[in-house]
A and B are shown apart, each in its own frame.
Chain A
Amino acid sequence: MKAVIIDDERLARAELRRLLAAHPEIEIAGEACNGDEALALIAQTSPDLVLLDVQMPGMTGFDVLERLEDVPQVIFTTAYDAYAIKAFEVNALDYLMKPIPAARLAAALAKVRPRSGPARLERVFVRDGDRCWIVALPDIFLLESEGNYTRVHFSGQRPLIRRSLNALEAQLDPAVFFRANRQEILNLKWIDKVDLGIAGGLSVTLRGGRAVEMSRRQSGRLREILSL
């Protein structure tokens, strides 16, 4: 599995490299010492895993994630940053406190999975004010267009992400995410029940109670997929 190390301190990167030497399954694809370098490195190497320092000059670890279209698996490395860790409510793979104990690193690395396939969006980074989430796509039940932004619905949250619905759609797995109408894309695995709606369209209710009205054309396609 490919990993990249992002930390502004050379000694910290060297330490991490030495620790990772005990894990031959991890191949270090590169190092970056600031946000700009990190973005270039990730774009160039598409790593499975990013070991990311939270506090860096210029761009913080969060700023880096916010600029990534597809977020790899992330393990945060931080000296001590209660605030930053609190801001992360959902789904960072792990946090490692520097100096990092070898056993702790091994436990974190055990959670890393290789990428399922190329060019498929696996998780997105969302920031809403002071709160951040790394959201795995299976947790998202609805994507709602709001101009150039998209509202991401997952586990009681519905923050905005700075990407258009159309741009997102191109990266989604069509077997899971289904265009309901011009405004919304729903996650087929979250469908609870399907009713006949007004004017021949279907009305889908998702687990959790959210109702989505299908356009006439997409209703036909949905019938096919669900073999109704």
Chain B
Amino acid sequence: MKIWDDSTAMETPAAYWGYQAFYWGIFTAIGLAINLANGGNALNLVISHILFFFYSIGLTHVFRGQILRWRSHHPSVIRMRFRLFLGILIIGFIQTALIISIDIALNGTRLQDWPRAAVAGLAWGMYIGTLVWTIVYVRITERRAQEQREAKMQLALREAELRALEAQINPHFLFNCLNSIRGLVVEDPPKAQDMITRFATLLRYNLNHDSRHTVPLSAEAEVVADYLALEKVRFEDRLRLQVAIDPAAASLQVPPMILQSLVENALKHGIGRLPQGGEIQIRAAARNGSLVLEVENTGELTDSLPGDTQVGLNNIRERLRILYGDRASLALRSSGDGKVVATVQIPKDS
């Protein structure tokens, strides 16, 4: 699913052309009324204004094509504003030049007949006209894109929550967990109590999930800790853990369930397949303006990952793209010495 690239979906053709006709229609009509009031050849004025109406639509239409192309590369806000400003200047200049040229052609005037102040006034008028056109266009389409992103984000998040729900509270996990806790009740009652509490916390997190798009990494890490504590009861010595979360990274925002999904993957496809078990290392650090999350597990990266791994990882990729465009990434690679590392990079500023 492409989120950013279907920029044309930000508007319907009818709405777009309606806006073009309405905006430049009003603008041209006001200009025509003022010029007629000032006197001059009425027929020539009407002709030049009709021409103005059409080439203004043409120019802003080309400009809009360019805006969509720029958007598809997700430029930064400042860069986009700079480009828009430059585009407005160019269009204003062309409009001014065309108005003067057409006047010369229709009325036989000469360039010298245009006083500097009149040219400047005309140019200002054109700049402001195109500026307002652009602001309205960009605002409306951005809001629509934002709404669409929200909707898709909600959808992807719900899907991820559902999957996480299935993974943690997946019946297999649930019943194995209950069975282990039943065993603990005899062997180690205080630990059994602790596990029941963690189990409750995990259930609550999953049942009361809210629809926030991001949560502090520290909150996500707490849930992962509960989850891993429960898995540790089952796996015992076969699951070894190392968690290193940089204090500077703990307060940064991450999409909910992201660490959780990575850890589940590591357990399901790494440790869970090894009779001798293995180690999971969770690392989080702030680096060069990015938050880097790494989940490393003992295991092999098989060429043909089972479908559900791909689904899980694809869901993470999807949510990262919706939230951060091209500025976030997820990579899964084999680190050579029998370890698999999943790395997520998220821009810090968002």
Q: Identify the A interface with B (CB < 8 A).
A: 8-12, 14-15, 18, 33-36, 55-58, 79-81, 97-100
Contacts and interface: CB of A to CB of B under 8 A. Distances in A.
Contact of A11 (B174, B184, B272, B277): B184
A175 B186 CA distance: 51
Contact of A57 (B178, B184, B272): B272
A130 to B, nearest CB: 15
28 contacts: A8-B275, A9-B179, A9-B180, A9-B235, A9-B236, A10-B236, A11-B179, A11-B180, A11-B184, A11-B236, A12-B176, A12-B179, A14-B187, A15-B179, A33-B275, A35-B275, A36-B275, A57-B273, A58-B273, A79-B171, A79-B172, A79-B175, A79-B176, A80-B172, A98-B175, A98-B176, A99-B175, A99-B182
Kindly list the 10 A-B residue pairs having the minimum CB-CB distance in the complex, ordered from nearest.
A11-B183, A80-B171, A79-B175, A98-B179, A79-B176, A58-B275, A34-B275, A99-B179, A11-B180, A15-B183
Given A11-B180, A100-B179, 14 more contacts: A11-B184, A14-B186, A14-B187, A15-B182, A15-B183, A56-B275, A57-B273, A58-B273, A79-B172, A79-B174, A79-B179, A98-B175, A99-B179, A99-B182
A58 B271 CA distance: 10
B162 to A, nearest CB: 18
Contacts of A81: 172
Contacts of B274: 57-58
Contacts of A58: 273-275
Interface of B: 171-176, 178-180, 182-184, 186-187, 233-236, 272-275, 277
Contacts, number: 63
Chain A interface main SS type: loop
A141 B182 CA distance: 46
A18 B176 contact: no
B270 to A, nearest CB: 10
Contacts of A56: 275
B63 to A, nearest CB: 57
B178 A99 contact: yes
Contacts of A80: 171-172, 174-175
A81 B236 CA distance: 22
Contacts of B176: 9, 12, 79, 98
A12 B174 contact: no
